[in-house]
Amino acid sequence: MSVVEAIVERTGERLDVAVSRAVGVSRSQAARLVDAGSVRVSGAVRPRSYKVEAGDRLEIDVGDPAAPPAPEDIPVPVVYEDEWLLVVAKPAGLVVHPAPGHPSGTLVNALLARAGSLPGDDARPGIVHRLDAGTSGLMIVAKNEEAFGRLTAMLSAREIARTYLALVEGAPPPAGEIDGPVGRSPRHRKKMAVVAAGKEARTAYRRLELLRDTALLEVRPHTGRTHQIRVHLAAAGHPVVADAVYGRASKLAAGLGLDRPFLHAAGLSFVHPLTGKPLVLEEPLPLDLERALARARGGA
């Protein structure tokens, strides 16, 4: 048995929504945990429709996360592939690797079905870098140990350039760099924040379009801290639109038809670690973000 504990931050949310947020699973998976009696609210079992209050203590029995991931037939678009590595276009909503409360249905499960076996950590085989579940776009996956070692070294040496597209609230300057250490929030242990004791983090951006209530940015992270782009943009006063964790309550997301953060890993540029061939890969915005951007432009 593995129990995750969390403190509720938002009064009025349904219990299944609060559980989904606390352990990073889909709402349907959270509902199954609640229905199975695996969730206690301040010591009591409640129905999924129960409205939580800020300060409630959640105890969530997510089962045994130790089992190795199994292959699953989950379609994932592949943008590039050779004998050493592949680059996928991860859809929004697809979790990268198994975790407590989410033992299956992940990108890793899909990759194991495609490749048979992958190098690296048993819990997240082949994964060179991650994207948040709600973020879409390009990810590099190593197919053998040599490629994995070289790619992770290149990532640490900042030899892999990553470009994101983000729609943010407000009107940021035409270009800038956000330099602030990122670490665990002292107030909310499930969140990251700019904190003095955090790890070095730098994020550069340039404004592509200035709209009425939002701006479209091209973002280039120089480091790879957890939630770095979302944390830095929020700290600068321009949170990613529809970011329920780091953004503020806003009607923008509903007005644009968004149910996930407008953040997309649009480009990758690096030298192939085995062949020396330069690789420049791009992935267009998925349909949900294209439609949201069209609505934002229509309001400009």
Would you call 16 a catalytic residue per the annotation? Answer: no
pTM: 0.78
- Superfamily covering domain 162-266+287-298: Pseudouridine synthase (3.30.2350.10)
Q: Which of 16, 132, 243, 288 is catalytic?
A: 132
Same fold? 78-157, 162-266+287-298: yes
- Superfamily covering domain 78-157: Pseudouridine synthase (3.30.2350.10)
Q: How does pLDDT run along the chain (300 residues), one tens digit per residue?
A: 577 888 887 888 899 888 888 887 767 778 878 888 889 998 889 998 999 988 888 988 876 555 678 888 899 999 999 999 999 999 999 988 877 666 778 899 999 988 888 888 777 889 999 999 999 999 999 999 999 999 999 999 999 999 999 999 999 999 999 999 999 888 887 789 999 999 999 999 999 999 999 999 999 999 999 999 999 999 999 999 999 899 976 789 999 999 999 999 999 999 999 999 999 999 999 999 999 999 999 855
Strand partners, 169: 214
Q: Is it true that domain 3-61 has CATH number 3.10.290.10?
A: yes
pLDDT for the residue numbered 36 = 80
Provide the residue ranges of all domains of the chain, joining segments of one domain with +: 3-61, 78-157, 162-266+287-298
